[in-house]
């Protein structure tokens, strides 16, 4: 059975989606070493078979006997589909220790407005009604990534794609702050440049043991559009100025199931073992249909940093970099069980 460790093997992650497709995108994981509501791992994601935005509704899963399952009292999706062409997307999980509640933020796009909504739970099974926390006209708050700091300062990063949306020639990453995670400041620009690429989706976490913020950025080559993203790694001390790397963490050429896009992905840093667990989402166009896959792999931090540091600081116009042969393991459920999460 594969161990899903290192650069050479990734394992598909089977999840019981409400639509029956098993195809998920926009994963976000919250990890609780001491448990939350009896579980260590919680995951939010949205089904997206063949790019069907009507099914792109936030759903939640947790761990049970080393498998991802739907919590017993939950009926996915947590958020119902709005009338088309409005749609949901981009869930993000954050724990609030002040209230001992797990929050899920997500993006509702309706009437040419991005509306970031939030609902929460004390037990993982009974969720509050969603409330609107911040909104903006146009495609202006894409892929919100929220961090709560120990001093009860909340920070949200998001992509502003007003200049063309999914086909934008440039986007900007913005940062908002809040005292409660509900009422947010006006956005300010952060300093993150992935030369030759346009940031589209991301996940951000604060790593206390490193005193750094880490980001996974799904970005596409200028002129290509958001259906051709690679995944990059970035780090920052203050969350404003970001160090980027020229080599993608995961490129479209790396795995056949991600041949067209390595999309929004998420991660967990295991400080005890100095390792990073990745949950990757992405797609391949097969027989004129988009097929989305969720997978996992575990990298030592030194291995990860060596991989993205293979090339010097980037120059404008760079292209994705090949990293050598890899193995895509379409693992059975038993194989995936051996390597949960």
- Alpha carbon distance, N-terminus to C-terminus of the chain: 15
Q: If you ran DSSP here, which 8-state letter would residue 176 be given?
A: E
Q: Which residues are CB-neighbours of 125 under 8 A, at least 6 positions away?
A: 37, 71, 72, 73, 74
Distance CA 144, CA 148 (A): 13
Indicate if the pLDDT at residue 281 is higher than 90. Answer: yes
Would the pLDDT of 314 be above 80? no
Kindly list the structural domains of the chain, giving each domain's residue range(s) and its CATH number in brackets, ordered by start: 9-337 (2.115.10.20)
Confidence bin at 65 (pLDDT 50/70/90): confident
* 261: nearest Cα among 283, 292, 288, 278: 283
For residues 57, 167, 296, 89, the Cα torsion angle rounded to the nearest 10 degrees is -10
Is the predicted pLDDT of residue 8 greater than 90, yes or no?
Answer: no
Confidence of residue 311 (pLDDT cuts 50, 70, 90): low
pLDDT value of residue 68: 93
| 319: confidence class by pLDDT, cuts 50, 70, 90 | very low
Q: Which residues pair with 61 in a beta bridge?
A: 43
Q: What residues pair up with 261 in beta bridges, in sequence order? A: 283
Distance of CA 176 to the CA centre of its chain: 18
Q: How far is CA 130 from CA 16, 78, 104, 182, 214, in A?
A: 23, 10, 9, 11, 28
Distances (CA, A) of 286 to 36, 179, 282: 39, 46, 13
pLDDT of residue 275: 95
Summarize the confidence of residues 317-328 as an average pLDDT.
32
What average pLDDT score do residues 117-136 get? 98
Task: Give the mean pLDDT of 195-200.
Answer: 96
| Overall average pLDDT of the 166-195 stretch | 97
Entry field: residues in the chain? 341
Q: Give me the chain's average pLDDT, please.
A: 89
Confidence of residue 312 (pLDDT cuts 50, 70, 90): very low
Over range 220-229, report the average pLDDT.
Answer: 96
Q: Is pLDDT at 341 greater than 50 in this prediction?
A: no
Q: What is the pLDDT of residue 261?
A: 97
Give me 244's structure tokens: 């980027």
Handedness of CA 218, 142, 92, 18 (dihedral sign): negative
Q: Please, which pLDDT band fits residue 4 given cuts at 50, 70 and 90? A: confident
């Amino acid at each position: 059975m594969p161990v899903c460790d290192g650069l050479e093997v990734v394992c598909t992650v089977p999840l019981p989606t409400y639509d029956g497709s098993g195809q998920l995108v926009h994963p976000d994981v919250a990890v609780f070493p001491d448990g939350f509501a009896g579980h260590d791992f919680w995951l939010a994601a949205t089904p997206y078979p063949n790019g069907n935005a009507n099914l792109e509704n936030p759903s939640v899963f947790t761990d049970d006997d080393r498998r991802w399952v739907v919590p017993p009292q939950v009926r996915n999706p947590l958020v119902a589909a709005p009338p088309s062409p409005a749609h949901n997307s981009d869930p993000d999980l954050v724990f609030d220790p002040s209230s001992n509640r797990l929050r899920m933020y997500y993006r509702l796009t309706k009437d040419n407005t991005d509306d970031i909504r939030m609902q929460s739970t004390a037990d993982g099974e009974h969720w509050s009604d969603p409330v609107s926390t911040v909104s903006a006209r146009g495609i202006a708050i894409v892929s919100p990534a929220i961090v709560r700091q120990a001093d009860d300062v909340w920070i949200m990063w998001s992509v502003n794609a007003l200049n063309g949306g999914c086909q934008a020639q440039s986007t900007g990453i913005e940062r908002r702050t809040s005292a409660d995670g509900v009422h947010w400041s006006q956005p300010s620009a952060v300093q993150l440049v992935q030369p030759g690429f346009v940031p589209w989706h991301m996940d951000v976490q604060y790593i206390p043991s490193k005193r750094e913020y880490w980001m996974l950025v799904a970005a596409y080559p200028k002129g290509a559009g958001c259906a051709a993203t690679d995944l990059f790694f970035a780090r920052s001390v203050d969350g404003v100025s970001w160090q980027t790397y020229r080599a993608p963490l995961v490129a479209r050429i790396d795995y056949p199931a991600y041949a067209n896009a390595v999309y929004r992905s998420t991660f967990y840093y295991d400080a005890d073992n100095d390792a990073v667990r990745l949950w990757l989402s992405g797609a391949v166009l097969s027989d004129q249909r988009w097929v989305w896959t969720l997978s996992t792999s575990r990298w030592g931090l030194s291995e990860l940093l060596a991989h993205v540091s293979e090339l010097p600081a980037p120059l404008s116009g760079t292209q994705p970099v090949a990293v050598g042969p890899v193995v895509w393991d379409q693992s059975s459920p038993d194989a995936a069980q051996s390597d949960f999460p």
